Amino acid sequence: MPLTLTSLGSAAALPLKESYFTAHVLNVRGRLFLLDCGEGTQLRLRQLGISLGAIDNIFLTHLHGDHVFGIFGLLSSMHLLERTAPMHIFAPGGFEKMLEFYFSRFVNGPSSFPVTHHLVSGDRPALLLDGPTARVYSLPLHHSVPAYGYLFREKKVRRSEARSVAYCTDTAPVADLPAWINGVDILFHEATFLEQDKCSAEKYLHSTAADAARCALESGAHRLVIGHFSSRYKETPAFLAEARAIFPATEAGYEGSVFSVPRSAIT
């Protein structure tokens, strides 16, 4: 009965020699959800042995290139593999134009599978998907374009505690976010900058490692995973040190890292 979050990449805006763009796969009891789809995502999936055919739902936080440039290649490969299962993509407004461009330029004839864009909008959390293993909620974030985080709450199985994961990138600190994700088992929160560059974080509407840690602390999260590190930093241990000074249960979402949430029984 797995619940795991696998990091495909940890870079922001520009890739580094050993860092891919931010993207993650969430496995909730065998159901796979792709969270963001930057350039190179399908390559990372293959490198980690994750089947393209096992993904039925993609959640895009926003439409900046480092989070969506991989979607054309991913959909194209699925088409070449003669996929037939529907694909559901949850994304803010404007993504429908990207899909129109993809189908008009890169699909020779009818697509082998239907692709549906589900609009993510609004200024309050909202239920997006009531699936077999989890309910998924949108979380309005604060960035230079419309951006949303996602909260995954597992559906209970027998006498066990339901587990939860929140995924929040790219965003400046949001005052209401800790209350929206209260008690979450894993919080993935962007940490684009260090506190020494707080001015840059505020200018570009991103968060520092300390901001991410404060969100985790205020929300009562069990664990914090940070990522989306700016390419201006050549080494990243300082991000962990800064976050752990506030929230000790912090880990870095480096490429290939897998974070698990064990199942606990109700007593």
What does CATH list as the number for 3-260? 3.60.15.10
Percentage, residues of the chain above pLDDT 90: 88
What residue ranges do the domains of the chain occupy? 3-260
Residue 84 burial (CB count, 10 A):
10
- Tokens for 182, please give them: 């209260």
- Tokens for 143, please give them: 């960035």
Say what the pLDDT of residue 267 is. Answer: 35
Phi/psi for 250 (5° steps) reads -110, 140
Q: For the segment 188-205, what is each residue's pLDDT rounded down to a tens digit?
A: 999 999 999 999 999 999
**164-168 sheet: strands from edge to edge:** 126-130, 134-140, 148-154, 164-168, 186-190, 223-227, 250-252
Helix, strand, coil percent values for the chain (each to nearest 5):
25, 30, 45
Say what the pLDDT of residue 65 is. Answer: 95
Of 216, 215, 208, nearest in space to 239 by CA: 208
Q: For the segment 139-150, what is each residue's pLDDT rounded down to a tens digit?
A: 999 999 999 999
Active-site residues: which are they? 66
Q: Which amino acid is at 183?
A: G
**pTM of the shown model:** 0.96
Say what the pLDDT of residue 265 is. Answer: 47
Contact criterion met (CB below 8 Å) for 257 and 212? no
Give Cβ neighbours of residue 113 (< 8 Å, ≥ 6 apart). 78, 79, 83, 84, 85, 86, 87
Q: Which residues in the chain come in under a pLDDT of 50?
A: 265-267
Percentage, residues of the chain above pLDDT 70: 98
How do strand 148-154 and strand 164-168 relate by DSSP bridges? antiparallel
Q: What is the C-alpha separation between 54 and 73, in angstroms, rounded? A: 16
Residue 90 burial (CB count, 10 A):
22
